[in-house]
Structure 1
């Protein structure tokens, strides 16, 4: 799935779909992003469980192709899928691991919640799904993240190294039968056993990587007791974890747990909540030792003057460092310094660096300062023309000029001779 996770079922012109999405921006930009949505006729109402979440009430064209979605300012996501990051509730500055991260909706929400000073590592073993995860984080300019692809993180990461962990493991998906009607047949009977075994292994790994007093949120999109309440019982009986009772978020209806010896968990009533069926349990680590040794960030240093010469504003980046690996340039968050040298991971892609010259990628709006040189548009007509392949007079603008809508940064234009055009490269 990509950023428009539900786009295959997108509403037709004028239809009200009621689908949920998340604003992906700074808190002070929320009104401007909603104005960008309104400029294309998309009207939404707030969800009651988070100031970041909305439900569409007017969708004249598919939300996934709206200007706000194209420039990564919204993420379409089932409302149940938004709950795990909110219930994990990492504070600003937290060090978070998302163990099974693709397609990136929960990873991105975690990155928003921990803020500029926080760090989120998203792990995804599948190469195809890893690519989707990275595309999501790149499009949404979540630079306080890094990604890796490990089938088993236990031997690669230090024990006790994360204050918060989200584990949303592979599951039977019985809670998504409205979109995946074959899930119950595919994962019927004993076919679920390998999934349950994998979930227990991942729970054990998560418990080992969690710092003392740290919190682990386990979630699935299935209604299967073997993958839900029985896994909670396993965690409490065999791992250094204790349950943290979850308060019910507003706007949802929840079913009772399916085991009498399990409490404090949440099981979403899919039909009553107009959402996917989800199970969530929150744990706290008891005992163990914390890992707090930071190392050096790898790569070749890219000096700020190279970014400034390209019309970029490095002060917009979170704490961390800009590094080159060959000709590719990545931002490495400060929190990535805890990652051991043996772990292959990737930071946030910024552009290229050749012969001392930095060239930002078009969608790296995190490098655009407020009111920098470029085109600032009050309407969408010229922006739509640029996206359709047309060019505009460049005047005396630099080779990589900013593109803004009412001050909201969208990306970098490319200058070709006397013209400026949009290119995703």
Structure 2
């Protein structure tokens, strides 16, 4: 039943959801709400590939299997909290965590593969996840102190048996005789997560496999060897769940084969707290290689909604402007190389420096600016995305593009013409 339909989620606030839906419907797409998350949708009519829709191209939807949405939702970090995402690429769950914790919350994401890290960062830019920071690092080697995170998401490498409908060769690639290294890595990562949790902190462990060795047996191992206790999960509406394959597993979730969505396993652990009562966060030095910017006084920021940025600072690294969340500045150890959220480019030096927002820096779009194009029909969008230009009043600097008041992107201005920016 897993591939009977496709699912996606809206990348917006609940108040903006009707606008994104109208944008999709105007192109002939039809869908139904999913019961387990207000912004999840089930696709019912797809006149052409959903990934080519305007909503997808402007990062206002994210195509994601419904089961894959469950780990962040079951971790359920409160708004304003900080989350460590230990195995992050391609960013599906990371960007959902970013939405759940809100702009004053923070998500730190690690990924050891350079290629997959690039994909992760691209997806976080596309979804406007400005409250995130990323690092190329093995999760088991992260240098965060013990007892330093209240919420951790751990979706480790697994055999992927639950994705067999989508990846038919997965059972051959990861037969039961080949999963030993994966099991060992998962235990290493669980142990690392337990160390980094604060007393009472929560780690959500999940896999997209049906293999008992990577699921229930890992839970049993963690309960025996780590300072963790199992916290029962409520069953989200709209799924069919199977019984755990071991006893003593009340409250873990195993998406059944006859449920819509990929096979998934989820377990939520809470740290008992032995050995690190009343931990104190160490203050990290802000000795970063980039240059801090007096961003609000820079040329080029006049038409930007600077109050849309979360608490933090803007630095220049090699001609690029990155937003660094204050939680990243305070939390990340000096020895770990990391990257904030790319929001644009810097040209010139010193008092002559000029900022230009990247096309997807939606957080800086200002509807009250005079340099705004707010559309109500699709024809201008079609022209822009086909490489054609639109006429506009003359001026300097980029122009904000909106659809019915919904921020979409920044456009380049050439005299009286507007064009889609290349990046």
TM-score of the alignment, normalized to the shorter chain, above 0.5: yes
Please name the residue that 1:190 is paired with: 177
Count of equivalent residues: 410
Query: Secondary structure of the equivalent of 1:27?
Result: coil
Question: Counterpart in 2 of 1:323?
Answer: 315
1:296, distance to aligned residue in structure 2 (A): 5.3
Which residue does 1:346 correspond to in 2?
A: 339
1:292 aligns with 2:284: no
The 8 Å contact of residues 158 and 291 in structure 1, kept in 2 or not, is answered as: no
Cα distance in 2, alignment partners of residues 152 and 264 from structure 1: 26
The 3-state SS of whatever aligns with 1:280 is strand
Secondary structure of residue in 2 paired with 1:273 = coil
The offset of 1:196, in angstroms, is 0.2
Give the alignment partner of residue 387 of structure 1, picking from 357, 364, 385: 385
- Pairwise mapping of residues 90-105 of structure 1 onto structure 2 (< 5 A)? 90-105=77-92
- Equivalent-residue separation in structure 1 for 2:95 and 2:301 (angstroms): 30
| 5+ residue gaps, structure 2 | none
Change (3 A) 1:308 1:296: farther
Q: CA RMSD in A?
A: 1.7
Distance (Å, rounded) in 2 between the aligned partners of 1:263 and 1:154? 32
Shift, 1:243, TM fit: 0.3
Q: What is the aligned partner in structure 1 of residue 121 from structure 2?
A: 134
Q: Is the 8 A contact 2:412 2:420 kept in 1?
A: yes
- Do the aligned partners of residues 82 and 346 (structure 1) sit closer, same or farther apart at CA in structure 2, a change above 3 Å counting? same
The residue number in structure 2 matching 1:418 is 416
CA distance in 2, matches of 1:109, 1:316: 19
Contact 2:374/2:404 (8 A) holds in 1: yes
1:281 aligns with 2:267: yes
| TM-score, normalisation: structure 2 | 0.93
Distance (Å, rounded) in 1 between the aligned partners of 2:22 and 2:316:
37
SS of corresponding position for 1:345: coil
Q: Pick closer, same or farther for the CA change 1:194–1:307 going to 2, 3 Å.
A: farther
With normalisation by structure 1, the TM-score equals 0.93
Q: Assess if the C-alpha contact under 8 Å between 1:235 and 1:241 holds in 2.
A: yes
CA deviation after TM superposition for structure 1 residue 154, in Å: 4.1
Give 1:308 deviation, angstroms: 5.4
C-alpha deviations, 1:135-167, integer Å up to 9, x for none?
A: 100011110001111114445112122110110
